[in-house]
Structure 1
């Protein structure tokens, strides 16, 4: 498993847990963190034994956005990381899930601050859990900046446009309850238990057929860019082959035999 000084990687059964690990800066984004994140997404997709991914933060915070010192050209420590970014100038956007989508489901487990770049990364995740004291928001306009991590495109597709525009144009903070009310997150849990809840959801996903899970995720995002008619046609094209897999036959057989299925990605 990979990781960097600002990003830790841990296996919990069939789940890969990526932890933003710069608590002294409320996990503000750094180049080592972004390189570690990108490598984590790649590792998860390359390993068929991994069925889900959790993204969380250390020290009671998720991510406070970009380190403004780093944005000004300071604090980008480590020549090896600069070399990685030079070799792939898009690496930081892929790390932030701006235009990179892992094929495995990604669950966000949020505690504390999830603002600016943190809320932008959040939009690239699939399922979202937050502690009740978590804080969300896109603060860029308050600093004269632009949320260039994809929020002006994606946020209005994930929550009602009026709420998206209010979040984008006011730069104000949102509580976890308010974020849930507008549909930005799915679960609000007691503080300190977001990772526990995320692991429970991941366990439910891991018990399902991995080929089916990945095909369903891909179909949902593919159809979101299509008309209903085109989406339904694409769904059949992607979904019918799943019925011919050994995993599908195993699922039906296990149901009939009243036992847990053993899926083999076949």
Structure 2
């Protein structure tokens, strides 16, 4: 099963679902069809047990230049009837698509080339691992336009970066080159331009080779315990982690290690 819309391409690369923002003529600015496609992509990844990881990228040498303000001002008139019906049926769909308060259970890797600004940087904060080409640019430009970064940045950015860096990004609205974004911790890898997707798929393959139940439990535990005290977090970790040891996959991992062969995991 693969979904997608005119502005969102969905492809399979092995056990990885690749979601490509596809409005290169607009630097992949967020449109309503793109948001519907994104939401469907996250849903597909969660519901398909053969998907082990997700890569989010953009077409045409850009990641995402933020919300299409013309489309937003038009109240959705530029979108087709099906898209408008989907948004009317679930008024929260666009926030889920942007990962504002929706967290896929599979690991999500961002592969960034070119501009990743405003809403692009907000979506980025909902991903788990981040790779960028050397020429990529980041930033939250909303205050420069008299707007508010309502996609979650005033809450999440200070939890992902030191407060001084988060507030500088939020309050100045200035662009950040990839090397600086890596230095402050917004992204994890800077690679030659044009190779971000290749590197993201390389990381995805490493994840895909691991026990899927273990991977998903580790991701869930990291986020569940993030705001807990250490005592509560350690208790929660045991509750999440101990059942993994009783799975057939855990036994297969140990057996494969002893037999010096790659494990064959079955989500069991």
Supply the distance in 2 between the matched residues of 1:161 and 1:71 (Cα, whole angstroms). 31
Please identify runs of 4+ aligned residues in structure 1 that moved more than 6 A.
none
1:68 aligns with 2:69: yes
User: Could you tell me how far 1:71 is from its partner in structure 2?
Assistant: 1.8
Aligned CA RMSD, in angstroms, stands at 0.6
Shift of 1:70: 1.4
Q: Distance in 2 between matches of 1:224 and 1:70?
A: 36
Superposition map of 1:223-234 within 5 A: 223-234=225-236
SS of aligned partner of 2:225: helix
2:203 paired residue number = 201
Report the equivalent of 1:137.
Answer: 139
Which residue in 2 is equivalent to 1:215?
A: 217
Gaps of at least 5 residues in structure 2 are none
Distance 1:76 1:233 in 2: 50
Give the deviation of 1:209 after TM superposition: 0.1
Deviation at 1:225, TM superposition (A): 1.9
**Correspondence for 1:116:** 118
CA deviation profile, 1:86-138 (whole Å, cap 9, x unmatched): 10000000000000000000000000000000000000000000000000000
Give the TM-score of the pair, scaled to structure 1: 0.99
Q: Secondary structure at the match of 2:116?
A: strand
Residue in structure 2 matched with residue 27 of structure 1 by the alignment: 28
Name the CA distance, whole Å, in 1 between partners of 2:78 and 2:54. 27
8 Å Cα contact 1:76-1:82 kept in structure 2: no
What does 1:1-266 align with in structure 2 at a 5 Å threshold?
Answer: 1-73=2-74, 76-266=78-268
String of CA shifts for 1:33-72, please: whole Å, max 9, x gaps.
Answer: 0000000000000000000000000000000000010121
Uncovered stretches (5+) of structure 1, i.e. residues with no partner: none
CA distance in structure 2 between the partners assigned to 1:98 and 1:151 by the alignment: 9
How far the C-alpha of 1:77 sits from its partner, in A, is 1.4
Measured in 1, the distance between the counterparts of 2:30 and 2:39 equals: 13
State the secondary structure of the residue aligned to 1:224.
Answer: coil
Distance 1:110 1:254 in 2: 36
